[in-house]
Chains A and B, each alone.
Chain A
Amino acid sequence: DGGITQSPKYLFRKEGQNVTLSCEQNLNHDAMYWYRQDPGQGLRLIYYSQIVNDFQKGDIAEGYSVSREKKESFPLTVTSAQKNPTAFYLCASNPDTPNQPQHFGDGTRLSIL
């Protein structure tokens, strides 16, 4: 079955550490997105990518980095510069054609030890 796989489901980070969240899709979608979800705040866009080797900052990119070396993969690194990283992170994708909604992975919950 086609879909978006996020791993791990739970992740713990020590202060000062960088951690990388994985997002893989086998839907052959061009566009991929990373969102952060906090209680009572809905989803906020961190980074997005429309094609391989290209990505753009979203609304809350500070303290995060991404890469898009392959069409199917869009990993997110939460750096030590992100002072409040505890959140639920969601990856999404959609085809680069009109009227196609985003599909979401099941998310990664990141916590600070």
Chain B
Amino acid sequence: AQSVTQPDIHITVSEGASLELRCNYSYGATPYLFWYVQSPGQGLQLLLKYFSGDTLVQGIKGFEAEFKRSQSSFNLRKPSVHWSDAAEYFCAVEKGNTGFQKLVFGTGTRLLVSP
């Protein structure tokens, strides 16, 4: 069965510092991968997605992620964090490329940004 691991429950980063959130997946073939962000009491917003092609994916708000098949990872990065980036971040995997998506989510990483 597919699974997604986000090993960090909380991460604190100083404003202006770089950020990397880890995501590891378990799936036999090349999965379809997503990063979503959730502000408190809100729904999820898509940051970026990987379906195929270039393994470095650019997203919104200055985020990027790199798919590494050898490490079964899809880590999210940002070179300089802003206070407004404080939120919870979810990695998700989907095994098929059809209209219907049965996403499997990680447990999330809460990002705190210190002044």
Contact = CB atoms under 8 A, between A and B. Distances in A.
Given A43-B90, A106-B42, A106-B43, A50 B103 contact: no
Interface residues of B, number: 24
Contact of A107 (B9, B41, B100, B103): B41
Contacts of B98: 96, 98
B80 to A, nearest CB: 26
Contacts of A96: 98-100
Nearest to A99: B51
In the A-B complex, the 7 residue pairs with the smallest Cβ-Cβ separation, listed nearest first, are A96-B99, A104-B43, A42-B105, A104-B44, A42-B107, A43-B105, A106-B43
8 contacts: A31-B100, A50-B99, A58-B102, A90-B44, A94-B101, A96-B99, A106-B41, A107-B41
Interface of B: 4, 9, 34, 36, 41-46, 49, 51, 90, 97-103, 105-108
